[in-house]
Amino acid sequence: MLAPTLAVVLAASACSLVGGDDESGNGSASGEASKRVVLVTHESFVLPKELQKQFEKDTGYELETRASGDAGALTNKLVLTKDNPLGDVAFGVDNTFASRALDEGVFAPYTAKLPEGADQYLLEGDDDQALTPIDNANVCVNIDDTWFADKGVAPPKTLDDLYKPAYRDLFVASGAATSSPGMAFLLTTVAAYGAKWPDYWERLMRNGLKLTDGWSDAYQVDFTQGGGKGDRPIVLSYDSSPAFTIADDGTSTTSALLDTCFRQVEYAGVLDGAENPDGAKALVDFLLTPEVQAALPDSMYVFPVDSSVKLPADWAKFAKQPADPFAVAPADIAEHRDEWLRVWSDITSR
Amino acid sequence: MKRILTLVGLAAVPLAVLGVFFVLPVSGMLSEGFWVDGHFDPAAVAEVLTRPRTLRVVWFTVWSALAGTTVAVLLGVPAAHLLHRRRFRGRAVLRALLLVPFVLPTVVVGVAFRELIGEAGPLGFLGFDGSAGAIIAGLAFFNVAVVIRAVGAAWESLDPRPAEAAAALGASPAHVFRTVTLPALRPAIVSAASVVFLFCATAFGVVLTLGGLRYSSVETEIYLLTTNLLDLQAAAALSIVQLLAIAALLVVTSRLRAVADPSLARTTARPPRVSRGDWPSLLATLLVTVLVGLPIAALVVGSLQVGDGWGLGNYRALTTEGSRQALLVPVTDALVISLRTAVDATWMSLSLGVLVAIVVTRRSHSRAERRTRGALDGLFMLPLGVSAVTLGFGFLITLDEPPLDFRDSLLLVPIAQALVALPLVVRTLAPALGGVDDRQRQAAASLGAGPLRTFVTVDLPIMWKPLLAAAGFAFAVSLGEFGATSFLARDETPTMPIVIFHLIGHPGAMNYGMALAASVVLAATTAVVMLAVERLRVPSLGAF
């Protein structure tokens, strides 16, 4: 009876030798640990290949990127592996999750030299300056201007408008429990209505708010200007979204309601216990260079923190940023996230 | 004594793999929940179980999975009859097409379903969007192929003569089915149903996307607790519930699976043409085709839309990185990566699956031996019932030190996929192997054949078809796996589902179109591979 076992084991080992080609490439990279920088980030991280090559050329480091999950999954991964970190530097922890990472001591202090205008994005309560702001974007309610023009209906402007009968069954948003823009919108209402935010949500639900799993479902399937041509002209998205709905005549068919926005800032930081802390610092500095900052809008759909960087033409024209977005202190978010999400789930699943 | 040693020897490799890549990571995550700040605190975990929300979530999981399984079995068994016991033009193509849902990433299927049943879709008038009915339809869509394949393979190997004899003695077709065919198929049906139930009970994307966030299952709750709230006690509590539920399910199904005389025929007769009496199977097959076909058709239509017109622009774009470089590698590269990964995952799960199937189906000589085999059987089903996110996080915190430093290994993806496919492989092989009359092996041995020769001449001919079916399953599971893969895949080597997920999550009509086109390509690739596997079938099994 040992014969078949042996046969299978032999077959298996022969095949893994075939697969061994991939392994050797991987092995050589880890061989020179001091020359390698490992960046841990979320799945939305994208940078042009030329820029990554430029970083490798300028610094002599080899850049390896491990990208998976959303900002929440990234933060929790960093927390769970803090004793044996997944890499040297992390990018993508945002202001809604930052407190948790700081409280758990995930990041080592590093004060990077910030570009013009970036200090307004520093995290409140981060006294060691462990986190460096890299980009920002606002989650705002977006509307299909062409739809409202065609129907001759005055478009909504404020949060309070959204539960008025004129906009019944017109609004679609992604949920707070399952998506990062959804969480930001929940925080918008917490900032706007204080302890009364649950009442606001009950009104929204009564007015036919449709909730989806993630951003893509809401925007691509249900929104009238999304890829699937849905039938709801009000959607939860970003302040940059109008730059992606340019019609043939050169104008945008959508706009963001700037009085409904919540600011999200994404941070980078050197991981505590990194094998290559110098390489990690070099990467944080690199993310702040004018070249990377200028590439952010096209690559990741976010605004640079460097106010001197020139935005792409469509962005300069159509992606308007709010002057005074809503904000909730990071420590408050960390303390109440659980409770707020539970109350929110109870209202929305009724 | 020698028998026990053999058993241990055969089971050693699969056990080691399961231990390192499943038991260790999962227990790592569970202990994060039980040990709070260094001291053991099971009370906090127990408290979670008494929350009303937990009870609601568990109840929804159980009834939706039961409903999904029931629909899949009621449609799948008659369809298996038509597709595996009747002959008609286009049968192979239809069989391959019905397996397609299995590989489609849920995020795309969600979009496809919602384009149909959403408020603006052609079926929007049904008001199905965001209802429990939509979730159940989605579960059946994904899993009906499992029933058709597994039951169909068993049905093909069934000796037709007892049924013919019963008919000749005057039994009506319904009577023959109830008294002769159904009892013989019971092991296969129960096997398939138990796997489908596990798939349904651990469904993730379907519940969130089609349920409009109004429903939570154990799986979605674990995901939320682990990735968002970092409430590991609650996650551990729910994982324990999952594990206990699977254990209970396995005990029940192992009772139901046992049959008095499991012997299978070694030759199969050429199936007859479709006749008027086949209307129940025809009707079921029609329903399955509509259920599976409509969302796929919606995908194809969507992928051909370019701006306000029609064209192949989305398909041509697949050789690029998407608009504004949404991707690191072109979709065509991802397809190659997916196929290579799937080949690896397939041989891994087949090698392990054959060993496990042999171990669990050999006739036991003592009570202890039977118990051991039963326990092993259950152990290898567990990966199906544990949340991918628990496994993914567990990999990160347990496989990080030499000699088990696998966090960066490229082999992690195919290994994880092979483990996900393993229960399906075992459940496809075991009924066939269990159906081999042990006396045939004894006869071969007494005629001087060694164990290998006995295996090749007695077991292999019977296993040939189930083995191909299992290979097809493993390949399809690997092509479509998203949960664990998204966690483990390196960004320079993404698989198709991951690329599709990226595309659909990026703004721009082009990326949306490309996501649909990529899904159609993935579906077509799967269908072609499945067709090829069917062609591989050797016509004369007696050749061995």
pLDDT value of position A28: 38
Judge if the upstream peptide bond of residue A304 is cis by omega within 30 degrees of 0.
Answer: no
Q: Do the chains contact at A12 and B120, CB–CB below 8 Å?
A: no
Distance of CA A56 to the CA centre of its chain: 25
Contact of B36 with chain A, judged by CB distance below 8 Å, is answered with no
Structure confidence at residue B541 (pLDDT): 35
Is there a contact between B216 and A86 if contact means CB atoms under 8 Å apart?
no
How far apart, in whole angstroms, are the C-alpha atoms of residue A121 and residue A130? 13
Bigger pLDDT: A230 vs B434: A230
On the CB side of A294, how many CA atoms lie within 13 Å of its CA? 9
Cβ within 8 Å, pair B512-A349: no
Say whether B208 and A16 touch across the interface (CB within 8 A): no
Q: Kindly determine whether residue B344 and residue A15, on different chains, have CB atoms separated by under 8 Å.
A: yes
The 8-class DSSP code of residue B210 comes to H
CB contact under 8 A, A231 and B119: yes
Question: What value does the mean pLDDT of chain A take?
Answer: 87
Q: Is the ipTM of this complex over 0.85?
A: no
Q: Which residues of chain A lie closer than 8 angstroms to B337, CB-CB?
A: none
CA distance A238 to A231: 19
Instruction: Count Cα neighbours of B422 within 13 Å in the Cβ-side half-sphere.
Output: 32
In chain B, residues with a C-beta closer than 8 Å to the C-beta of A94 are: none
pLDDT value, residue B267: 55
Rounded to 5 degrees, φ, ψ at A263 are: -85, 130
Q: Chain-centre distance of CA B359, in angstroms?
A: 21
pLDDT band of residue A289 (cuts 50, 70, 90) is: very high
Q: Which pLDDT belongs to residue B213?
A: 78
* Cα distance between residue B134 and residue B96, in whole Å: 24
Which residues neighbour B400 within 8 Å (Cβ) at sequence distance 6 or greater?
A81, A84, B407
What is the structure's pLDDT at A29?
40
Q: Are B491 and A48 within 8 A, CB to CB? A: no
> Residue B113 contacts by C-beta under 8 Å, 6 or more apart in sequence?
B134, B137, B138, B141, B209, B210, B295, B298
**Angstroms from B70 CA to nearest CA on chain A:** 26
Task: Over range A189-215, report the average pLDDT.
Answer: 94
Q: Report DSSP letters for B413-463, one per residue.
A: HHHHHHHHHHHHHHHHHHHHHHTS-HHHHHHHHHTT--HHHHIIIIIHHHH
Q: pTM of the entire structure?
A: 0.82
Task: Note the pLDDT of residue A15.
Answer: 37
Using CB atoms within 10 Å of the CB of residue A230, give its burial: 0 to 12 exposed, 13 to 18 middle, 19+ buried. Answer: buried
- pLDDT tens readout for residues A316-350: 999 999 999 999 999 899 899 989 998 998 898 76
For chain B positions 248-267, those within 8 Å of chain A (CB to CB) are none
Token look-up 């399955």 returns B288
| Burial grade of B536 (CB within 10 A; 0-12, 13-18, 19 or more) | exposed
DSSP state of B508: S
User: CB contact, 8 Å: B397 with chain A?
Assistant: yes
Contacts of A73 in chain B (CB under 8 A): 227, 389
Predicted pLDDT at A27: 37
The mean per-residue pLDDT over the stretch A295-313 comes to: 92
pLDDT of residue A171: 96
Q: Cis ω on the peptide bond leading into residue B280 (within 30° of 0)? A: no
Q: What number is the average pLDDT over the span A160-183?
A: 93
SS3 A263: strand
* Closest approach of B190 to chain A, Cα-based (Å): 29
Mean pLDDT of A46-74: 89
CA proximity to A94, closest of A181, A30, A16, A174: A181
The predicted pLDDT at position A321 comes to: 94
> CB–CB of A98/A330 below 8 Å?
yes
B381/B379 Cα distance (integer angstroms): 5
Contact criterion met (CB < 8 Å) for B227 and A73: yes
Mutate to test the interface with A, among B221, B478, B491 (most CBs of A within 10 A): B491
Share of chain A above pLDDT 90, in %: 68
pLDDT in tens, chain B (544 residues): 677 777 778 888 899 999 999 999 999 999 988 887 778 888 888 888 888 888 888 999 999 999 999 999 999 999 999 998 888 888 888 888 888 887 777 777 877 888 788 777 788 888 777 788 889 999 999 899 889 988 887 888 777 888 888 989 988 888 888 888 888 888 889 888 988 998 898 888 788 878 777 888 898 889 888 888 888 888 999 999 888 888 888 888 877 766 545 555 555 567 788 888 888 889 999 999 998 899 889 889 888 988 778 888 889 888 887 766 667 788 889 999 999 999 999 999 999 999 998 888 877 778 887 788 878 888 888 887 888 888 888 888 888 877 777 777 778 889 989 988 888 888 778 877 777 777 888 888 888 888 888 888 887 777 777 788 788 888 988 988 888 888 787 777 888 988 888 887 777 778 888 888 998 998 888 888 877 776 765 433 332 2
Contact yes or no for B506 and A175 at CB 8 A: no
